[in-house]
Amino acid sequence: MTQKLILASNNAGKLKEFNELLATVGFDVRAQGEYGVPEAEEPFFTFVENALAKARHASRLTGLPALADDSGVCVNALGGAPGVFSARYAGEPKSDARNSAKLIADLAAHDDMSAYYYCVLVFVRHADDPQPVIADGRWNGIIVPEARGEGGFGYDPHFYIPELGKCTAELAPEQKNRLSHRGQALRALVEKLK
């Protein structure tokens, strides 16, 4: 019987990417929503603390190993904002469109559009696991005011990769997964689990 693994996220964009990225890994991957797990609190000011809180929450409520992702876009001219607050940058309820609009407005008076996506993954074998497995990944880009592309989620229509001449919403899923902060972090995590 394959080991079940709970993805401790309710974000459909992330879940899709994890299903693609984990397709070849020997886990039976299930979203926490399938088990009725509600969103965890994310009260902390660091990605790693929020990811650990999400992983423990999902594992506690399901009794299964869990993998959580805390991620965001960090903009240099804004001192790293929205960063750990990316999901709720424009307030509640969470909205990718309003978050992107606020980011573009906040950058209007700035010249430096450089930014990076950052992702921390935390895997716990059980809710009180004293040795969570942690990995991270970073992906550099430029924030552009005009939205481009239909793929991805979140800030992807505004996150431009100069080397590719495309926004990340214009990439095929495999290409995004090969390059992204999340893909990098997941491959690093899988190495640590070997």
Ligand X SMILES: O=c1nc[nH]c2c1ncn2[C@H]1C[C@H](O)[C@@H](COP(=O)(O)OP(=O)(O)OP(=O)(O)O)O1
Binding site for Mg ion (CB under 5 A): 87
Which residue spans within 77-148 are E strands per DSSP?
114-124, 133-143
Residue with tokens 């397709």: 23
Ligand-binding site membership of 176 (annotated)? yes
Among 59, 62, 99, 177, binds ligand X (CB under 6 A): 99
Active site residue 70: yes
Ligand-binding site membership of 129 (annotated)? no
**152 interacts with ligand X by CB under 6 A:** yes
Q: In whole angstroms, what is the distance from residue 114 CA to residue 94 CA?
A: 24
Continuous segment of H or E residues that includes residue 182: helix 181-193
106 touches, from Mg ion, ligand X, none (C-beta below 5 to 8 Å by class): none
Closer CB to Mg ion, 10 or 140, in the complex: 10
Joined tokens for residue 46: 């660091």
Point out the residue whose Cβ comes nearest to ligand X. Answer: 154
**180 interacts with ligand X by CB under 6 A:** yes
CB 115 within 8 A of CB 143: yes
CB 21 within 8 A of CB 186: yes
Report the interface residues with ligand X, using CB under 6 A: 9-11, 14, 39, 42, 54, 69-73, 86-87, 99, 117, 152-156, 180, 182
> Which of the residues are catalytic?
70
